[in-house]
Structure 1
Amino acid sequence: MSVTGPAPDHPGDRADVELRLPADGAYVSVLRTTTAGLAARLDFPIDDIEDLRIAVGEASAMVLPEADPEGDLLCRFYLRPGELTVALGVTSTSAIPAPDYDSFAWQVLTTLATSAEATAGDGVFSVSLTMVPGHLGAGL
């Protein structure tokens, strides 16, 4: 089954980069490295790049447990001058719980990212985060 979402922050926009990986934690390092490379391309400072890598790891920790066996993790990257949005999503044929905004992963994610959003519905669980260099996270 393929993931049709996520793109909550950029409806109608085509992702600049799209990466489809097996929905398995073993591939999160590939996602984190890709994220860091794209942030470097946008001239993000090294501290913000590392914060973004950690935030993407936490977003992955939120969505991967909900993925169907043998499913995909779809990651879309939207590059704008001075801004990077990463949207991650998985499909699930089982009931998807509402996002846990009290979880450790969500707290870390919203502390590090400039903004973040989690959505569940229509068989897709997704997390989207945006980083603008020098801006404090949404959770602060």
Structure 2
Amino acid sequence: MSHTEPHSGELDNALSGVELRIAADPTQLSVVRAVAADIAMRQDFDLDSIEDLKLAVDEACSTLISLASKGAVLSARFVVADGDVQVSTQVVSERAAPPDRDSFGWRVLSALVDSVTTWVAPKSGEESYEVHIDLVKRSLGTVDA
């Protein structure tokens, strides 16, 4: 094995999710929604849960697009863990503040998923920031009784 070949555990981690990197443009939202729906279907989510995840991902990405710097790339990473779908989204922004958690959109987003968090991190050596929104949608089989 050469030094450039990943060990089997490293390969499993590298392939455990799907990451999209697209222009931070509203015309690209249909791609992200389609991936979210496909992943939810493969996890046997019911139709309502599939639609909730699609709408939540759309809202998170729309929020980030509204904050994005000109020419920014939107990243959306989907990981399945124990039947739950975890979505991590981020974009580069000139704004240091996180999304408005008192907005109607944030309330809708919070109602559609089991957890949602946001934070902002400065980009090293630049006068810009990475704005993150992470969410988790649990399958019905993993909801605590």
Question: TM-score of the superposition, structure 2-length normalised?
Answer: 0.79
Q: Distance in 1 between matches of 2:72 and 2:99?
A: 19
* Equivalent residues of 1:116, 1:130 under 8 A apart: yes
2:53 — aligned with what?
A: 52
| Structure 1 residues 33-62: Cα deviation after superposition (integer angstroms, max 9, x where no partner) | 100001111111111000110111111121
2:126 — aligned with what?
A: none
Secondary structure, aligned partner of 2:75: strand
| Alignment length (residue pairs) | 123
Q: Distance in 2 between matches of 1:61 and 1:96?
A: 18
| Structure 1 residues 82-115: Cα deviation after superposition (integer angstroms, max 9, x where no partner) | 20011110012x2322331111111001001000
Q: Which has the higher contact order (CA 8 A, sep 6+)?
A: 1
User: Which has the larger Rg?
Assistant: 2
What amino acid is the match of 2:120? A
Structure (1 or 2) with the greater helix fraction:
2
The runs of 4+ residues in structure 1 deviating greater than 4 Å are: none
Q: How far is the alpha carbon of 1:79 from its aligned partner?
A: 0.7
* Equivalent residues of 1:23, 1:72 under 8 A apart: yes
* Equivalent residues of 2:43, 2:139 under 8 A apart: no
Task: Indicate the RMSD between aligned Cα atoms, in angstroms.
Answer: 1.6
Q: Distance in 1 between matches of 2:95 and 2:101?
A: 18
2:111 — aligned with what?
A: 111
- Percent of pairs identical after alignment? 34
